[in-house]
Amino acid sequence: MGCAGSREKVVGSGSDTSKKIRKPKPWKHTEAITREQLTQMREEFWDTAPHYGGRREIWDALRAAAEADLTLAQAIVDGAGVIVQNPDLTVCYDERGAKYELPKYVVSEPTNLIREN
């Protein structure tokens, strides 16, 4: 009956299987980029990510969480049944075990972002 115990853990509410989300650590892009370039990179990622596997609704939830404040992001991933492996959302799983990897640039801004006036 070990399977039943495993199943309960996966099917349980997100709060008992996911870590608390934290702000990502500061990071630096390989070269300084503008906000416009960062936005373009993010759009390209979100447009293509679902084509590499996983469920569309989980990708949508991860995007909403990545673009929200920490409290709302936690509620989104818990509500969607996302299992957070890394507290900065860079590695997550759905309840079926599919892995979702998010690059740093979709969860936070680089320290060398060019600020345009």
Residue by residue, DSSP assigns the chain as -HHHHHHHHHHS-HHHHSPPP-PPPP---SS-EEHHHHHHHHHHHHHHGGGGSS-HHHHHHHHHHHTS-HHHHHHHHHHHT-EESSTTSSEEE-TT--EEE--HHHHS--TTEEPP-
Average pLDDT rounded to a whole number, residues 77-93: 96
Return the pLDDT at 3.
42
pTM of the model: 0.81
Return the pLDDT at 1.
41
Return the pLDDT at 117.
66
Return the pLDDT at 101.
97
pLDDT digits (tens, 9 = 90+) for 22-61: 989 999 999 999 999 999 999 999 999 999 899 999 999 9
Return the pLDDT at 18.
54
Comparing CA positions, the residue from 89, 92, 93, 87 lying closest to residue 104 is: 89
Return the pLDDT at 116.
78
